[in-house]
Amino acid sequence: MFYRLFALFSLIFCSNLYGGDIWLTWQNDPTSTMVISWLSSKETKPAHLFVSYRKYGSEDDSWSKFLSTIIPFPADEDKFICYAELLGLEADTEYEFRIKNNEEIYRFKTAPNTIDKPISFIVGGDTLEDNTSLFKVTNKRAAKYEPLFVAIGGDIAYAVTNTKEDPRRWQKWLEIWFETMRIDSNRLIPIVAVPGNHDVRGGFDRAHKDAETFYALFRSPTRREYTVLRFGTYLSLYLLDSGHAIPVNGVQKVWLQEELKKDALMLHRMAVYHVPAYPSVSTLDQKYCARVRKHWPPIFDKYDLHFAFENHDHAYKRTHPLRNNKVNSKGVVYIGDGSWGTNPRLPIQAPNAQYLAETRSEQQFCYVTISKKKRSIEVVTPDGRVLDKYSQTIKKK
Ligand SMILES: [Fe+2]
């Protein structure tokens, strides 16, 4: 109610608002919804608070209009986020939309209901530390793969240093994402994200209020901090907080266990979070890694998670399948370690860690393809080299 009133107030009094960069996310069913968000300032015109949309290729002029909810942008009091969650969309369908009449038209695509043909998406983390060109070049390579969506595992804009947050870094990130993450010049690629220590004021063991900007950008005004996205009956993607604004233990852990229990028949089960349980650069006994490893892998083991995408260490790693902290062919594979747009570090744990199957000091992302028969990953560098390939064949029960 507060946000609706805020939207109406803004419509009446903020007659000169300006529409900024656009990003897409999912908060609910990816087969029938899409969240369109954009950043506005007090110069925005009222028309910029509406999104018009229709199925791509419609011949008549039947645009549906939807009034966005306005959310304060916590990092900058002169800015607002316009948030529009479109519901009741058709699965596996392209839509076109515009933020006001006669302005540029963009497109998005909903996820399929079923996995009749292979589906691909991308996972990576630690995206824009200091060097924007490292971020841009990886974005451009990722967009060429035309993924259904991109999952980012935290340390997104590095807007937070210790307890200070710099809003310009979020704005720069949104601007570059909007410019580069497109298919065929105007189809925007949805992002689903989790927080890292550089997205939350104070980094670790903080509270909801310390991650206000992250939530305002990547969660709905009413959605909880951690979530699972279910794509039909073929993919569950768990988006977790590895101890930044929400404890690893406690209600998040209870929730994770309950949700994984529901997913016994889900074809592919994967999790994305920031701090690695099985690091490649940090030591195994580093306190935040040890904490994640203590609480989550036992649950992953119990409910047969397939892949856990980890970040934060700025290198590439893939573990052997692990169960009960030991190599086991039926175990969970931990992959990632987050170097989308950072200068990569040396994976110094590699010689000592029996759990690591592959490590590299390279910028990279994981290109994931799932089908009825297989789940596979290609690890790709910004210049297009494939660093590693890994796949699992699905056994019939
Ligand atoms: Fe981090």
Domain locations in the chain?
2-109, 119-393
Say how many C-beta atoms besides its own lie within 10 A of residue 13's C-beta. Answer: 8
The pair of three-digit structure tokens given for residue 340, joined into one six-digit string:
């989308």
Residue 311 CA, ligand 1 centroid: distance in Å: 7
pLDDT, mean of residues 165-183: 95
Hey, which residues does 109 pair with through a beta bridge?
94
What value, to the nearest 5°, has the Cα angle with vertex 33 and ends 340 and 158?
25
Residues whose CB is less than 8 angstroms from the CB of residue 273 and which lie 6 or more positions away in sequence, other chains included: 153, 154, 194, 239, 240, 241, 242, 292, 296, 308, 309, 310, 311
Q: Could you give the angle at which helices 167-180 and 132-144 cross, rounded to 10 degrees?
A: 30
**Identical topology for domains 2-109 and 119-393:** no
Query: What band does 185 get if pLDDT is binned at 50, 70 and 90?
Result: confident
Residues whose CB is less than 8 angstroms from the CB of residue 254 and which lie 6 or more positions away in sequence, other chains included: none
Q: Give yes or no for residue 1 having a pLDDT over 60.
A: no
Residue 100 CA, ligand 1 centroid: distance in Å: 38
The CA distances from residue 81 to 7, 43, 78, 100, 202, in Å, are: 11, 13, 11, 16, 23
Residue 155 CA, ligand 1 centroid: distance in Å: 5
Confidence at residue 5, expressed as pLDDT on a 0 to 100 scale: 45
- Element counts in the chain: helices (H) and strands (E): 7, 27
Residues whose CB is less than 8 angstroms from the CB of residue 216 and which lie 6 or more positions away in sequence, other chains included: 71, 72, 73, 74, 81
Confidence at residue 110, expressed as pLDDT on a 0 to 100 scale: 98
Average pLDDT, the chain: 92
Say how many C-beta atoms besides its own lie within 10 A of residue 136's C-beta. Answer: 17
Query: What band does 213 get if pLDDT is binned at 50, 70 and 90?
Result: very high
Residue 196 CA, ligand 1 centroid: distance in Å: 5
Residue 397 CA, ligand 1 centroid: distance in Å: 39
Query: What band does 75 get if pLDDT is binned at 50, 70 and 90?
Result: confident
Q: For the ranges 41-50, 175-184, 250-259, 290-299, which has the lowest average pLDDT?
A: 41-50
Q: How far apart (Å, rounded) are the C-alpha atoms in residues 212 and 217?
A: 9
Residue 276 CA, ligand 1 centroid: distance in Å: 10
Residue 312 CA, ligand 1 centroid: distance in Å: 4
Confidence at residue 51, expressed as pLDDT on a 0 to 100 scale: 94
Query: What band does 194 get if pLDDT is binned at 50, 70 and 90?
Result: very high
Residue 113 CA, ligand 1 centroid: distance in Å: 34
Confidence at residue 77, expressed as pLDDT on a 0 to 100 scale: 86
Residue 261 CA, ligand 1 centroid: distance in Å: 29
The CA distances from residue 14 to 17, 21, 77, 84, 384, in Å, are: 6, 19, 14, 19, 46
- 119-393 maps to CATH 3.40.50.300: no
Could you tell me which residue, 80 or 9, shows the higher pLDDT?
80
Locate tokens 């220590």: which residue?
197
Q: Are 90 and 32 in contact (CB under 8 A)?
A: yes
Which of helix, strand or coil describes residue 272? strand
Residue 232 CA, ligand 1 centroid: distance in Å: 31
Q: Give yes or no for residue 268 having a pLDDT over 50.
A: yes
Residue 157 CA, ligand 1 centroid: distance in Å: 11
Q: Give yes or no for residue 2 having a pLDDT over 80.
A: no
pLDDT, mean of residues 21-44: 91
pTM of the entire predicted model: 0.93
Model pLDDT for residues 43-55, shown as the tens digit of each residue: 766 667 899 999 9
The CA distances from residue 268 to 111, 245, 278, 369, 380, in Å, are: 15, 27, 21, 11, 21
pLDDT, mean of residues 230-259: 97
Confidence at residue 11, expressed as pLDDT on a 0 to 100 scale: 41
Using a pLDDT cut of 90, give the percent of the chain over it: 81
Using a pLDDT cut of 70, give the percent of the chain over it: 92
Confidence at residue 237, expressed as pLDDT on a 0 to 100 scale: 98
Residue 314 CA, ligand 1 centroid: distance in Å: 8
Model pLDDT for residues 304-348, shown as the tens digit of each residue: 999 999 999 999 999 999 999 999 999 999 999 999 999 999 999
Residue 394 CA, ligand 1 centroid: distance in Å: 33
Confidence at residue 101, expressed as pLDDT on a 0 to 100 scale: 61
Residue 107 CA, ligand 1 centroid: distance in Å: 32
Query: What band does 20 get if pLDDT is binned at 50, 70 and 90?
Result: low
Residue 174 CA, ligand 1 centroid: distance in Å: 19
Q: Which class in CATH covers the domain with range 2-109?
A: mainly beta
Q: For the ranges 129-133, 267-271, 340-344, 348-352, which has the lowest average pLDDT?
A: 348-352
Residue 273 CA, ligand 1 centroid: distance in Å: 10
Q: How far apart (Å, rounded) are the C-alpha atoms in residues 84 and 4?
A: 12
Residue 211 CA, ligand 1 centroid: distance in Å: 14
Residue 250 CA, ligand 1 centroid: distance in Å: 22
Confidence at residue 58, expressed as pLDDT on a 0 to 100 scale: 86
Could you tell me which residue, 267 or 103, shows the higher pLDDT?
267
Confidence at residue 349, expressed as pLDDT on a 0 to 100 scale: 85
What value, to the nearest 5°, has the Cα angle with vertex 177 and ends 173 and 180?
135
Could you tell me which residue, 331 or 395, shows the higher pLDDT?
331
Q: How far apart (Å, rounded) are the C-alpha atoms in residues 68 and 77?
A: 19
- Beta-strand (E) ranges in 224-311? 227-231, 235-239, 268-272, 307-310
Locate tokens 């791509």: which residue?
56
Residue 142 CA, ligand 1 centroid: distance in Å: 21
Confidence at residue 102, expressed as pLDDT on a 0 to 100 scale: 62
Confidence at residue 19, expressed as pLDDT on a 0 to 100 scale: 46
Confidence at residue 61, expressed as pLDDT on a 0 to 100 scale: 79
